[in-house]
Structure 1
Amino acid sequence: MARTLLFLSSNGVGLGHLTRQLAVATRLTAGFRPVFHTMATAAQLVRAAGFPVLFHQHHLAANLPPGPWNDMLGQELLALADRLDPAAIIVDSTAIFGGYVTLLQHWAHRPRLWLRRPMWQEGNRHFLDHAGLFSDVIEPGELAAELDQGPTTGHPALKVPPVLHISPHQRQPRTIARRLLSADDDRPLVALQLGHVFGSRTADLRHRLLAALERMTVQVVDIHSPLEPPGPDPGPCTQILYPSYALSTGFDALITPSGYNSFHESLLGAVPTLFLPQAGPGMDRQDLRALWAASRGLALTLEADAGEAGIADAVQQLLAPDFSQALAAAGLAEGWTNGAFDIARLLAQRVQE
């Protein structure tokens, strides 16, 4: 009988934590049954991937006080664990909620893994006090680690290579990707993928980016995830895709925030990228990632309030042949192995011990 593994993740409208867990779940060997409990509205994407999933709304989205909400979360997780009898619990979240603490304390006899990415802001330091609740703390690799001066630096953790849901070699060939993106071969294709990280500023930012690109001799694909409705009047370049990285071989340039997944996908996949770092309470240091890549000529970066002229100039630089050639020559993926395999192997070992 398959051993059940319980994956817990936070997020809200984002996909980062959940995508990393999917990277691990899809690389487990036979004999394991991943079950997901998430606060991400992306729950339907987990179900589409073939895994059972339970959605629990974050207290901010539910407009509930943290105390009662954590009590409910803890009771729900205890009931779920009693029913599933998980062989291990895997948490991917910066915040270790009180409800998580309740579950981890009651299930201290089973392996409990914390997938804790680096690049934290100082305000999240107190969550490290909960590290003792876990049997293992695993840190997904970070290309820009040398710039990280946040709370997790020096904190004990097993470090694995960067984790990707889709590895670069798993992407579609360029000709097929272009066809699926409805792109012709006569003009460069610029992909725009903003997600929800800019909140109420997203619509204005998208408008400025599209306005700048419309003045250029390029094709544009404005990518939305299935969780991000394009609005009542979507433009002709709007496409709903997940995971879009599978078609990134068809991009000549990409404009996206520098979150963990997008950053490592772009650089390891040699996609010429303009990073728009987002900053906010509780978020990772996207600015440091973008700075690291830009300082090495591996990407460009602009503030989200940049004007149309600056956007157009940056895209022109990305489309220059020497930029993509230099990025490919950097060979960041040479010798890289997907850390998701390391985590899957460790998880199997812990369950069998």
Structure 2
Amino acid sequence: MSKRDQGLASVVLGGLVVSGALCVAAMLSADLLYATRLIGAAGFVLGATVVLLLIVVAHRQQRLTETLRLQLSAFSKAESRHDYGRKVQLDQLQQMLGRLRFLTEGISGNQRPIDTRLTLPFDKESLLPRVLFVTSNGAGMGHLTRCLAVARSGRKYFQAQFVSLSSSAEIVRLFGFEVLKFRSQAATGQAAAAWNDSFAVFFDDICRINRPTAIVFDGTWIYRGVHESAKRHGASLIWLRRGLWMEGADVTQLETAHMLADHVLVPRDVGDSADEGPTSRLRDTLVPAPTLIEPSESFARDAALTELGLDTARAYVLVQLGAGAINDVSDARERAISRILSLSPTTDVVVGLSPLSKHYVDDRPRVHVVRQYPIAKYLSAFDFMVIAAGYNSIHESVRFKAPAVVVPNLQTSTDNQALRASEYERLGYGISANTLEELDKAIATFGDAEVRLRFRDALLSAALPLDSGEGAATKINEWITCN
């Protein structure tokens, strides 16, 4: 009760007491006239008290009515919000049911007709297990190249074919493998959920038709369609995952890898000793860093130049930059070309591109464009290189003793190329350039033959375990034959 209500109650109570007292006094008085006056006064006080009481009751009723109105209004709003929430939940449920219907219609065992276009050329008569290599859509050709190395080395252990999201996927056919392509989410512009549903149906059909013994996935995120299809069709799932992840990268699947994949293979990295990122804290199976070819498959200097159609009397520097290095690849490439051409009138530039790349043209007389893959076969042709700090480029440099200016892509979401490049420089293999100004200075430094010789000597003593995929292929064979 408020103080105001307490005051009004006291006034009413006082009025009742006064009127009562007047009535008692009138009954006790012997003077009839005086008693009549007392009774009249008591009636007046009583009447006033009753009027005041009615006013108090009316006010209380008004306040109660307003309180009830406000409570009803609040309840109505709450109910509206609740109804809206239920409507949103219903919409979400309908969307989920739509996706579930899509998947059950798309992934339906033997009920769907077989699409023969998804049949890969596994040898039906062979007793070797079937391994399906699946690569994501990275910034370059790293995932494909790494898997190609393992697939080539594993030919004595298993049959291998490919599924890839890479725009350069056809490159595997140069090595005798077939590939089924699927457009990446970025290429399609689809929402993540819709793309994952479509890929899940596509990949499930591939597994249903080709019956792989094992699936080797190379990428930073195992797609739902891959790990679900592996379980559905009884295939071992092996995650071939490089290390050197950035701090701040999405580590969800690193923490749950044992729930998604049967095994995790991690190729060694020149930056391992300096790695303090999320992958450094894991205890996965390590294998040597693979390069696509053996040193025995590479050409000597003059033979390499002849194969490339270049004059053996001149000196050459290779420029091969991947996606998104310093600001824009074209900026770094042009700066490198201009600086190299200024070193000596007898030094030419060779721009290395993918065989599938048709866009870049350079008509300058001392600039030559080659589209050879893998370029590692020809590295002896060059005095030095200007290359991206991606996994494969760096490790080809180390294995084939080809010193380089390395340009890290600073825009990657997981691959810590800046760390790899700085560690490459710290070990004395070459120079890291993070800016165009640093690129200028590094190329000028490489113009000194004695400096190049020091870098090459350091590469000759490199202790990093390297192979052509034999370590990974052997481990895959161990795992699938033990199952």
TM-score for the superposition, normalised by structure 2: 0.68
Which residue in the other structure is 1:349 paired with? 478
Which residue in the other structure is 2:36 paired with? none
Matching of residues 65-84 of structure 1 within 5 Å? 65-84=191-210
Task: Give the CA deviation at 1:351.
Answer: 2.4
| Contact residue 23 and residue 164 of structure 1 kept, 8 A | yes
What amino acid does structure 2 have at the position aligned with 1:277?
P
Which residue in the other structure is 1:168 paired with? 295
Matching of residues 69-108 of structure 1 within 5 Å? 69-107=195-233
What amino acid does structure 2 have at the position aligned with 1:63?
G
Matching of residues 215-254 of structure 1 within 5 Å? 215-217=342-344, 218-231=347-360, 235=364, 236-254=367-385
Matching of residues 30-49 of structure 1 within 5 Å? 30=156, 32-49=158-175
Change (3 A) 1:329 1:149: closer
Distance in 2, Cα, partners of 1:309 & 1:346: 43
**1:143 partner SS:** coil
Larger radius of gyration: 2
What amino acid does structure 1 have at the position aligned with 2:184?
H
Q: Give yes or no for the alignment of 1:114 onto 2:239.
A: yes
**1:313 partner SS:** helix
- More deviation, 30-39/247-256: 30-39
TM-score for the superposition, normalised by structure 1: 0.91
**CA deviations over 1:82-112 (Å, ceiling 9, x no partner):** 00000111011112223323323324x3321
Q: Give yes or no for the alignment of 1:328 onto 2:483.
A: no
| Contact residue 209 and residue 311 of structure 1 kept, 8 A | no
Task: Give the CA deviation at 1:62.
Answer: 1.2
Q: How many equivalent pairs are there?
A: 350
Task: Give the CA deviation at 1:178.
Answer: 1.9
Which residue in the other structure is 2:427 paired with? 296
**1:300 partner SS:** strand
Change (3 A) 1:335 1:154: closer
What amino acid does structure 2 have at the position aligned with 1:194?
L
2:437 aligned to which of 282, 306, 327 = 306
Distance in 1, Cα, partners of 2:408 & 2:342: 24
**CA deviations over 1:100-141 (Å, ceiling 9, x no partner):** 23323324x332111110011131312313412211111101
Change (3 A) 1:155 1:329: closer
Distance in 2, Cα, partners of 1:49 & 1:330: 29
Distance in 2, Cα, partners of 1:24 & 1:14: 18
- More deviation, 140-149/98-107: 98-107
Task: Give the CA deviation at 1:335.
Answer: 8.3
Task: Give the CA deviation at 1:152.
Answer: 0.9
State the superposition RMSD in angstroms. 2.2
Distance in 1, Cα, partners of 2:283 & 2:157: 30
What amino acid does structure 2 have at the position aligned with 1:26?
R
Distance in 2, Cα, partners of 1:185 & 1:255: 20
Distance in 2, Cα, partners of 1:296 & 1:162: 17
Which residue in the other structure is 2:281 paired with? 154
**2:290 partner SS:** coil
Identity %: 27
5+ residue gaps in structure 1? none
Distance in 1, Cα, partners of 2:458 & 2:443: 25
Distance in 1, Cα, partners of 2:451 & 2:335: 27
**2:153 partner SS:** coil
**CA deviations over 1:148-169 (Å, ceiling 9, x no partner):** 1111112121011111111333
| Contact residue 136 and residue 164 of structure 2 kept, 8 A | yes
Distance in 2, Cα, partners of 1:84 & 1:48: 22
Change (3 A) 1:274 1:281: closer
Distance in 1, Cα, partners of 2:327 & 2:437: 16
**1:26 partner SS:** helix
Distance in 1, Cα, partners of 2:253 & 2:464: 33
Q: Give yes or no for the alignment of 1:278 onto 2:409.
A: yes
- More deviation, 96-105/276-285: 96-105
Task: Give the CA deviation at 1:333.
Answer: 5.4
Change (3 A) 1:100 1:287: same
**2:250 partner SS:** helix
- More deviation, 283-292/233-242: 233-242
Which residue in the other structure is 2:263 paired with? 136
Task: Give the CA deviation at 1:273.
Answer: 0.3
Q: Give yes or no for the alignment of 1:194 onto 2:325.
A: no
Change (3 A) 1:190 1:46: same
Distance in 2, Cα, partners of 1:141 & 1:49: 24
Distance in 2, Cα, partners of 1:195 & 1:335: 23
Which residue in the other structure is 1:124 paired with? 250
What amino acid does structure 1 have at the position aligned with 2:152?
T
| Contact residue 292 and residue 468 of structure 2 kept, 8 A | no
Which residue in the other structure is 1:15 paired with? 141
